[in-house]
Structure 1
Amino acid sequence: MPLGTLDRDPPPFFRQGPSALSRLAICSALALLLMVGDGRFKVMQPLRLVLATVVYPVQWLVLQPVQWVEGFSDYVTTVTSAHRDVERAQSQLLQQSLRAARVEQLELENKRLRDLLALGARLTVHYQSAQVLFDAADPFTRKVVVDRGAMQQVKLGSPVVDELGVVGQVTRVYPLSSEVTLLTDRDHAIPVLNVRTGARGVAFGDNSVHAEAMELRYMAANADVAEGDLLTTSGVDGVYPVGLPVARIEKIERKVDAAFARIYCTPIAKTAGAEHVLILDPMSVEEKQP
C-alpha cells in the first residue's frame, strides 16, 4: 500500500480512551467520594475488616522474628539485671554480717571495759589500764605482752587483773611494753585463800591437765577442800591486794599413801582471751608511799 494512502488522523475517542488529566480528575473525585462516604456512612468498614482478617496471618508471621529478638533481648537483660541484683544483695548481706559481728564485738568489749572501770573504782591501790598486744613467742610458757612499760611507770612484779579476777604478774618491763606471766604458767605461783574455810595455800600454774589449769599444792590429804571452793588472793606476799578472785577448785584427788592431795583449779579470769587489763602497783610499793 502506498505511504500516501495511510490515515494520519488520531484514532477516535473510544479507541484512545480518556486523557491522563481526565483520569486524574475522575480518580480524585472517586477518592474524595469514598473518603466522604467512609467518614460519614462507614461504607469501607466491611472491606477493611475483611482485609484485616486476610492480612493478619501475614502480619503475625512477619512480626515473629522481631518478637523473638525482642524476647531474647529482654531475657538477656533480665538475667543480667538479676545477676547484678543477686551480687548486690550478697555484698550488702556480707557487709551487714560484718557490721553485726563488729557491733557484737564492740558491745562485748564495752561491757568488759565497764566491768574494768567498776573494778578500778573498788580498788584501793593505784592502777593503770593496758591492752594486750600479743602472746609471747615461747610456746612452752604462758605469757603475754601489754602496751605499758617503764615510761608509764610500770613496776616489776605488778599484779595484772581483768574484770573477773587475777590474770598474772608483770615479770619483765621494757621501755614501752611489759611481759606478763599468766597464772597458768608452770613457773608462776600465787598465795591464795579458801573463802569457805579460810585456809591459806599456794596455787601454781599446771599444764598437765589442760592449757588453762592450776594446781593448789601442799594441802594435806585430809584438808577441808571441796570442789567449787573459791580461791582469792591472801595478801601475805605483799604483792596482791587481798580478796581478788584467783581460781575455783575443779577436781580433787586423795590417795591413802600420799601426804598431800592433788587439787586442780580453773582460773576465774580469762587468761587465754584477755584484751584489756589493769596493772596494779604492788602492795609493798603502796605501803612505802607516804
Structure 2
Amino acid sequence: MPLGTLDRTPPPFFKQGPSALSKLMFFSALALFLMVADMRFRITQPVRAAVATVLYPVQWLALQPVRAVQSSGGYFTALSQAKTSEDEARAKLALQSLRAAQVEQLSLENVRLRKLLELREQKGLTGMAAEVLYDAPDPYTRKAIIDKGMVHGVVLSSPVVDESGVLGQVTRVHPLVSEVTLVVDRELAIPVLNVRTGARSVAYGEPSAFGGGLELRFMGSNSDVQPGDLLTTSGVDGVYPAGLPVAKVDKIERRAESAFARIFCTPQALVASAFHVMVVAPVSTQIPPRPADEPAPVPVKKGGHK
C-alpha cells in the first residue's frame, strides 16, 4: 500500500479535543461571567439553596462525632467546675458557721461582761478582771485556775464573783495564776443572809447534791426558810462584801427524828461555765487600821508639896 493512502489522523481513543489553553480561557470567562451575573442578578441563589438543602443531612451526620466529642468534653469540664464550686461553697459555709459561732460566743461574753460591770457599779466593788483558764484536774475538788496572780496584786482569800454572784474564793496564789475554790466545793463555807427573813446562816459546798450545789446546815426544822429564798453574803466574816448573791433555796427536807432540816441550794454564779470573773479585795483589807491607843493619863497625887 502506498504511503500516501494512509490516514494520518489519530484514532478516536487518543483524540484530545480543544487544547488546554482554549479550555482555560473558556472556563475562566465562564466563571467571570457567572460571578458578575450572580452579583448583579442573583441567578445562582436558587442553585445554592437547593445544594445546601440536599447537603444538610450529610453535614448533620458529619458533625455528630464532633458534637459528641465536644459534649463529652463540656460535660467533664462542667462536672469539674461543679465539683470545684461545691468545694468552695462548703469551705465558705464552714467559715461562715465558724464566724457565726464566734459571733454568738462574743455576744454572750459581751452580755456577761456588761452584767459584771453593772454588778460592780451597784455594789461598789473594787477589784480586777480575770479570765478562767481551766478547771483543776482534781476530781475530788471543785476548783478553777484564773490568769491573775501575785504579780497582779491578787491576795489570799480574795472573793471571786461573776456577773451572777459569788463564784468562790482564792485559796492559793502563784506568781502568774491563782487557784479559786468554787462555792460548791465541800471545803468552802460562806456566811449568808436570807433576804426575805434577814436570818443569818452558813452555806457549805455540797458537790454531791443535785450535781453541784450548797447546803444550809444547822438550821432548825421549824426555821422560816422557803424554796426560792435568795441568799446573799452577810459580810460578817470580813472576807465577802455584804449583799452579793450566793444561792437560792431549792429543796427543804424536814425530818421528825432530826432537830435540823436539810436545806439544799442552787448557786447563782455560773459554776460550770464562768469565763470572765472579777477578783475582789477582801473586806478586811479595806477596813482602815485601828487608831493607836492614847497613853493613859498620869494620876495626880493628893497632898501638899514637901
What TM-score comes out, normalization by structure 2 length? 0.88
Counterpart position of 1:280: 280
Counterpart position of 1:65: 65
Alignment of 1:1-290 (within 5 A): 16-288=16-288
Question: 1:50, CA displacement in angstroms?
Answer: 2.2
**For residues 125 and 53 of structure 1, what CA distance do their matches in structure 2 show?**
97
Structure 1 residues 16 and 90, CA gap change in structure 2 (3 angstroms): closer
Count of residue pairs the alignment pairs up? 288
**For residues 50 and 125 of structure 2, what CA distance do their matches in structure 1 show?**
107
Residue deviations 1:111-149 (CA, integer Å, cap 9, x gap): 212222222233445311111111111011000011111
Question: 1:193, CA displacement in angstroms?
Answer: 0.5
Structure 1 residues 30 and 283, CA gap change in structure 2 (3 angstroms): same
Q: Is the 8 A contact 1:125 1:283 kept in 2?
A: no
Question: 1:43, CA displacement in angstroms?
Answer: 2.2
**For residues 11 and 74 of structure 1, what CA distance do their matches in structure 2 show?**
64
Q: Which moved more, 1:107-116 or 1:232-241?
A: 107-116
Question: 1:4, CA displacement in angstroms?
Answer: 8.3
Question: 1:176, CA displacement in angstroms?
Answer: 1.3
**For residues 65 and 244 of structure 1, what CA distance do their matches in structure 2 show?**
85
Q: Which moved more, 1:103-112 or 1:118-127?
A: 118-127
**For residues 38 and 282 of structure 2, what CA distance do their matches in structure 1 show?**
113
Residue 271 of structure 1: SS of its match in structure 2? coil
Residue 175 of structure 1: SS of its match in structure 2? coil
Identity of aligned residues (%): 59
C-alpha RMSD of the superposition: 2.1
In the alignment, residue 283 of structure 1 is paired with which amino acid?
V
Q: Is the 8 A contact 1:141 1:185 kept in 2?
A: yes
**For residues 77 and 258 of structure 1, what CA distance do their matches in structure 2 show?**
83
Q: Which moved more, 1:224-233 or 1:273-282?
A: 273-282
Q: Which moved more, 1:244-253 or 1:20-29?
A: 20-29
Q: Which runs of 5+ in 2 are unaligned?
A: 291-306
Question: 1:265, CA displacement in angstroms?
Answer: 0.3
In the alignment, residue 182 of structure 1 is paired with which amino acid?
L
Residue 210 of structure 1: SS of its match in structure 2? helix
Q: Which moved more, 1:59-68 or 1:277-286?
A: 277-286
Q: Which runs of 5+ in 1 are unaligned?
A: none
In the alignment, residue 263 of structure 2 is paired with which amino acid?
I
